[in-house]
Amino acid sequence: MMRRLAALTAAAALVAGAPLPANATTDNHHPKCPNGYVGLTYDDGPTPETTAALLQALRAAHARATFFDIGNNALAHPELVRAQQRAGMWIGNHTMSHPNLPELGEPAAFQEIADTQKVLHKITGERPRLFREPFGAVSDQVRADVARLHLLEVLWTVDSRDWAGATTDEIVAAAATLQPGGIILMHDWAQASVDAVPRIVSDLRARGLCPGKIAFTPKDVPYGDTVFHAVAVAP
């Protein structure tokens, strides 16, 4: 199931921090990132035991990442959400309680997403623009909910398998398969993923890649009822 979901990732544009320009092209790279950008993503936070260390590792590596936070965790630890924001990370919606949304049904599935928007907006002053379904479990109705809330669905192209107990070496090896515009799935609570940060970022830079922001642009790659294409642009 996880392999199938990884193949179904929402293709997303990865940028260095600025909104995606209307005339963006794949040739528009920062000199330090000649081969483009990839997305480092961390699900299920914030986590008292690991979030601070993960932020410290990312900042030490001069890297930014996207954190898909669970609403209930954010309510319990708002200071960690604000720490993510202060560290320059991007914060996405990962539902209130991490259910399987298609199995949960409506209107509960919509409310899981909408309530998390309210929680994260109250804590950060900003409404998330990105959303990731727990387990990557999607349906036409869930996608309609996501569109109704003006969110971009973000899955992944590479699964670190930290959720299955992958070691730091295995996570670094998974990240080494990222291609420009790709997105890797990791988890905020996984110590092995925290430990992998310096090596992941170092290996990316050795390949002319940089961690970037997730956005999207239409092109000719079908995904559900919409088309997306991975494009990496400089700020």
- Enumerate the active-site residues: 43, 187
Peptide bond preceding 46 in cis form (omega within 30 of 0): yes
∠ at Cα 130 (124, 132), nearest 5°? 115
CA 119 – CA 122 distance, rounded (Å): 5
CA 36 – CA 22 distance, rounded (Å): 17
Contact 31, 54 (CB under 8 A): no
CA 179 – CA 157 distance, rounded (Å): 9
